[in-house]
Amino acid sequence: MTTAVLIGPPGSGKSTLGRLLAERLGVAYRDTDLDVEVVAGKPVSDIFIEDGEEHFRELEHQAVAKALAEHDGVLSLGGGAILREDTQALLDGHQVVYLQVGLADAVQRVGLSSARPLLVLNPRSTLKKLMDERKPIYERLAVLIVNTDGRDPRELADEIVKGLGR
The CATH number covering residue 51 comes to: 3.40.50.300
pLDDT of residue 34: 95
CA distance 119 to 38: 22
Contact (CB, 8 A) for 78 and 60: yes
Please report the pLDDT score of residue 127 as a whole number.
77
Question: Exposed, middle or buried, 20 (CB in 10 Å: 0-12/13-18/19+)?
Answer: buried
* Spatial contact of 16 and 102, defined as CB atoms under 8 Å apart: no
Note down pLDDT in tens along the chain; length 166 residues. 678 999 999 889 999 999 999 999 999 999 999 999 999 999 988 998 899 989 999 999 999 999 999 999 999 999 999 999 999 999 999 999 999 988 777 767 666 545 555 555 556 777 788 889 999 999 999 999 999 998 999 999 999 999 998 7
d(CA 14, CA 125): 21
pLDDT (0 to 100) of residue 125: 77
Ramachandran region, residue 41 (left: φ > 0; alpha: ψ -120 to 50; beta: rest) = left
Q: How many domains is the chain built from?
A: 1
Structural domain including 37 reads 4-163
- Residue 12, CA distances (Å) to 18, 78, 80, 93, 137 in order: 11, 11, 13, 23, 15
Which has the closest alpha carbon to 58: 36, 89, 31, 26? 36
